[in-house]
Amino acid sequence: EAAVTQSPRSKVAVTGGKVTLSCHQTNNHDYMYWYRQDTGHGLRLIHYSYVADSTEKGDIPDGYKASRPSQENFSLILELASLSQTAVYFCASKDWGNQDTQYFGPGTRLLVL
Amino acid sequence: GQQVQQSPASLVLQEGENAELQCNFSSTATRLQWFYQHPGGRLVSLFYNPSGTKHTGRLTSTTVTNERRSSLHISSSQTTDSGTYFCAITGANTGKLTFGHGTILRVHP
């Protein structure tokens, strides 16, 4: 099965600070995604990428940037963290040829104080 | 945008009982998946089921595309089935997933 890892697994940040969440996949998947999950809700797409050095906006991109420096790595950046960005963040990857099977990382729990 | 509604929001069962989870979605031109989220947070894919019926173990998924609905049936529930079940629909080409709010299932021994 595809391996998707995330770091850190949890983080406490201060309001206005910069936060970088990292995602790494080892299966040469073309697509990578960042989602956030709020308590009691499903996942919502923030940013995604289908090729290195390119990112696309998802459904809720405001307040977030993304970076795809290589096929294996996809980062989510909060330049000025806010209280409303407290959530669990999931990274996922998917192969170009396999349209619908996304493999998810274990999640990063972010608390902004 | 695309919308996904799930019901019930939560469900409590005694071990051995069956469960039926429902998902309704806004467009017929979608591909539907069911996911399970462990209590610890890990998300795993259960079914990719754009239409028809699929089985795996004690789980059965039935999607009626032209009625924009899908169901997930869990037979003979076990305590290890506890967690949250999501249905999600896939956007064409991008693979973008739109999730429902989930059904929280608790199975008591």
Q: Please check whether residue A99 is in contact with residue B90, taking contact to mean a CB–CB distance below 8 angstroms.
A: yes
Q: Which of A6, A74, A99, A110 to mutate to test the interface with B (most CBs of B within 10 A)?
A: A99
Residue of A nearest to B49 (CA): A100
Question: For position B101, what pLDDT does the model report?
Answer: 94
Chain B, window 34-53: residues with a beta carbon less than 8 angstroms from a chain A beta carbon: 41-45, 48
pLDDT tens, per residue, chain B with 109 residues: 678 999 999 999 999 999 999 999 987 666 889 999 998 888 998 988 888 999 999 999 999 988 999 999 999 999 999 999 999 988 766 678 889 999 999 999 9
CA distance A45 to A35: 4
Q: Is the peptide bond before A69 cis (omega within 30 degrees of 0)?
A: no
Residues of B in contact with A94 (CB under 8 A): 95
| DSSP category for residue A83 | G
Q: Alpha carbon of B29 to those of A48, B16, B54, B69: distances in Å?
A: 22, 36, 19, 12
Closest residue by Cα to residue A44 from A93, A81, A87: A87
